[in-house]
Amino acid sequence: MRVAAGQFVVTPRPETNAQQCVEMMARAHRQGASLLVLPEALLAREDGDADLSVKSAQTLEGAFLRLLLAESRTNTLTTVLTIHVPSTPGRAINTLVVLRGGEVIAHYGKLHLYDAFRIQESRLVDAGESLPPLIEVDGMRVGLMTCYDLRFPELALSLALRGADLLVLPAAWVRGPLKEHHWATLLAARALDTTCYVVAAGECGSRNIGQSRIVDPFGVTLAGAGGDPGLIFAEVTADFVQEVRAQLPVLQNRRFAPPQLL
């Protein structure tokens, strides 16, 4: 199947950001994609207000997703992204949502909060309490992850052991020393750990690096973006996953019990 990752600069206006999502969904569909991954925390962002994503939180029934769901009804594209959903007053859950056929078919509260490099996501965001589900897209099993989850190999491994062929990762990877190196290295490592494809979408702009990538189960980058808005595409197949796993059976060769995450 054909997969896509899209990146753009998130603005302080949810309506503008929703329209950018809708335009990328339409473009991905026109270019034959079955799966589109968009970045993390798409409701609102502003360099001068680090809390705007949480302040702008909306429910899954809110205006932002209603616009995207209206576009989703027009085709069979599966779209993955994250928004902040209110939890308790002044707080939210960073929630990955999967849209298809005009419905939210799955959602996942981000487990690993970004309390690193002098940023404390947990100050206003509550961690999820459940492992992400697997979904199916065109016969391939897809595991769900969000941004900082990438640094925790046990989550990717748990998804692969449950049957994932492909992992998706909406992200807003913050700029900083060696951060681009970490991003590229970790994406390849998670693909090799799990012998899964990885489709990662990164928000771009002054704060985050962009650099969306589609990586195959051997850790090879099939398509990559720089720092500008745009879409990237690649072809992925379940047969190739099986070919790689026949040559590199790391999931079978493991000597340790599956990790307990929760």
Q: Judge whether 147 counts as a catalytic residue.
A: yes
Of 71, 121, 147, 203, catalytic: 147
HSE toward the beta carbon, residue 129, CA cutoff 13 A = 2
Q: Please give the structure tokens belonging to residue 91.
A: 């707080």
Strand partners, 127: none
Coil, helix or strand at residue 82: strand
Instruction: Count the Cβ atoms, other than its own, within 10 Å of residue 156.
Output: 24
Q: Could you give the CA distance from residue 19 to residue 198 in angstroms, rounded to a whole number?
A: 26
Q: CA-CA distances (angstroms) from residue 107 to 14, 54, 172, 190?
A: 20, 18, 18, 21
Q: Is 110 one of the annotated active-site residues of the chain?
A: yes
Q: At what angle do helices 14-30 and 63-72 cross, to 10 degrees?
A: 10
Of the candidates 71, 110, 203, 204, the residue annotated as catalytic is: 110
Contacts of 256 (CB under 8 A, 6+ apart): none
Decide if 71 contacts 101 (C-beta within 8 A): no
Choice among 40, 71, 121, 203 that is catalytic: 40
Alpha helices, DSSP H, located in the chain: 14-30, 52-55, 63-72, 153-161, 179-194, 238-247, 250-253
Name the residues annotated as catalytic: 40, 110, 147
